[in-house]
Amino acid sequence: MFRVTPRAVFGAKFGTTFRTLLAAASAAAFAFAAGPSAAQGFPDRPITLVIPFSAGGSTDLVGRLVAQRMSQELGQSVVVENKGGAGGNLGAAQVAKANPDGYTILMGTVATHALNPALYKKMPYDPVTSFAPISLLAVIPNVLVVNPEFPAKTVSELIELLKKDPDKYSYASSGNGTPLHLSGELFKSMAGVQMQHIPYQGAGPALNDVLANQVPIMFDNLPSSAGHIKSGKLRALGVTTAKRAPSFPDVPAIAETLPGYETYTWNALFAPAGTPPEAVAKLNAAANKAIADPAVQARLADFSAIVVGSTPAELEAHVKAEIAKWAPIVKASGAQLD
């Protein structure tokens, strides 16, 4: 059985895009695996998993863990290929244009399938029609952190400070148009506050300046900040999921102060559109079994990732819901990339 995200963790709002997902995920995976139409010959050679970002980030870690376990399930190697660039568009486009035979698949994210279509004037693929969904694997919370010298100790105190001095404070992110930037823009909009956005070329440089108190506030992936939070080098004011993250139960959700606030990063597998349903079914079953493995779940829990697992149809519905959610936020932020 999968360790899926209960409504008690993420709440009803999160559940609106997953109402059928969590209850059906385990049964669906095994139904796909046992179905009479399963392709007899697939796979008969290695599969390439394209990760559209550089090595070392949370997407890369999820991808490598899942690829290793899927290799065991499929009896063929699942080889990771990192192809970063253009916010994930280069790697995603490579898979969208690949031969639709199931041997080239993508580790998609909220960036490649929800944010980039709103950020880029010209896209090299369509996030819905260019892909065959396989499975939503995991969601990863973001976190609002401040330097320990910053006076606010809660989200409420931060909002009060920002309203008192609307032009005084700034926040860092990993770059324009990233999920972390837009987490900040959503916070500003919902709280009715102002902060200057300071974009960096990646989360690492941004985090370094927050640790050095050059910029006092940052929205970051929870795995990236986790060690600094535990050591006291950063103060976590709130996680961005609707409910508290199991790995940091003492850190409130921002939604406890701003009801309805919710952002997170997610990882999902996609094949090129037109991939035979039998191949998609085998990939879905292998992926869902991979994330059901206790060893994989334990490793994912180490960096606050929460296992989901889904059917292809549920992933497709999730992507459409995410596009609808983020398009107006991106537009309101004014972020635009060429």
Q: What is the pLDDT of residue 25?
A: 43
Model confidence at 334, pLDDT cuts 50, 70, 90, reads confident
Q: Distance from CA of residue 15 to its chain's centroid?
A: 16
Name the pairing type of β-strands 196-199 and 170-173: parallel
Instruction: Output the 3-class SS for 230-267.
Output: HHCCCEEEEECCCCCCCCCCCCCEHHHCCCCCCCEEEE
Helix axes 58-74, 222-231, angle to 10 degrees: 120
Give me the numbers of helices (H) and strands (E) for the chain, helices first please: 13, 10
Model confidence at 287, pLDDT cuts 50, 70, 90, reads very high
Which amino acid, one-letter code, is at 283? Answer: L
- Which of 255, 225, 223 minimizes the C-alpha distance to 238? 255
Statement: 7-139+266-333 belongs to CATH 3.40.190.150: yes
Taking the C-alpha atoms of residue 151 and residue 273, their distance in angstroms, rounded to an integer, is 51
Q: What is the pLDDT of residue 266?
A: 95
- Which of 3, 59, 37 minimizes the C-alpha distance to 296? 3
Lowest model confidence (mean pLDDT) among 3-7, 26-30, 93-97 = 3-7
Mind listing the pLDDT tens digit for each residue in 96-147? 999 999 999 999 999 999 999 999 999 999 999 999 999 999 999 999 999 9
Task: Flag whether pLDDT at 12 surpasses 70.
Answer: no
Question: Which CATH topology does 141-256 take?
Answer: D-Maltodextrin-Binding Protein; domain 2 (3.40.190)
Mind listing the pLDDT tens digit for each residue in 246-285? 889 999 999 999 999 999 999 999 999 999 999 999 999 9
Q: Which residues contact 34 (CB under 8 A, 6 or more apart)?
A: none
Mind listing the pLDDT tens digit for each residue in 151-181? 999 999 999 999 999 989 999 998 888 889 9
Q: What is the pLDDT of residue 28?
A: 43
Could you check whether 7-139+266-333 and 141-256 share the same CATH topology? yes
Task: Flag whether pLDDT at 36 surpasses 60.
Answer: no
Model confidence at 40, pLDDT cuts 50, 70, 90, reads low
Mind listing the pLDDT tens digit for each residue in 312-327? 999 999 999 999 989 9
Model confidence at 39, pLDDT cuts 50, 70, 90, reads low
Q: What is the pLDDT of residue 8?
A: 35
User: 247-265 burial string, b = 16+ CB within 10 Å, else e?
Assistant: bbeebbbbbbbbeebbbbb
Q: What is the pLDDT of residue 23?
A: 41
User: What is the percent of the chain where pLDDT is above 90?
Assistant: 71
Domain limits of the chain?
7-139+266-333, 141-256
